[in-house]
Amino acid sequence: MQKDLGNYRKSYEKSDLLESGVSDNPMELFQKWFYEVENFGGIDEPNTMTVSTIGLDGFPKNRIVLLKKYTHEGFIFYTNYNSEKGKAIDENPGVCLSFFWPNMERQFIVKGTAEKIAPNMSDGYFESRPVGSQLAAIASNQSSVVASREELEKSVKLLEQKYQNKPLERPKHWGGYLVRPISMEFWQGRPNRLHDRLRYTLEESFDWKIERLQP
């Protein structure tokens, strides 16, 4: 089985990325880009990102998660701490986040260090989730093998009965990570594959060095 994809081509012409038009602070540029992507439309969840870790087996692994908050400190997402991803972060907190926004022909890539956020912050976010999502977080032993879909749904049903008309508490093994960036790359598609790439690197002075990368 094979299929030649060599003729799949598109010319990227929607915008540019020049040093003269960017902030010295990459988080300000990220916020600007995020708003532009959101307002341009065509993407259901602009906060969708890929989280890459180095697994306990030595192989890199990517998975899609949702960014839930960003601050001057970095980027926050939530997961099961006992999952494959959580165990990988425990072993090696160096992670990569990447966003692809085809509606604006943009990518954004972060290299940084992941750390667990304060329990009260995870509590607050857990309480804001729909009840169904809370039940799923409690019922799922994320990344472990399950015999069938029916078994998983049965676990949720039992929890529904157990906690009927009772508040649900966040399980201790579920919560947020803050990724503190050490570098951030902004990629803007351009015609003829001469794309714009600006990389911000955190220096010892806590200033950001801006460099243009070749496409």
* Active centre residues (catalytic): 193
- Strands 94-101 and 75-80, bridge-based pairing: unpaired
Residue with tokens 């010319």: 11
Q: Which residues pair with 197 in a beta bridge?
A: 187
Rounded to an integer, what distance in angstroms lies between the CA atom of residue 50 and that of residue 95?
Answer: 10
Phi, psi angles (nearest 5°) of residue 89: -65, -40
The DSSP code for 15 is -
Q: Which residues pair with 75 in a beta bridge?
A: 70, 179
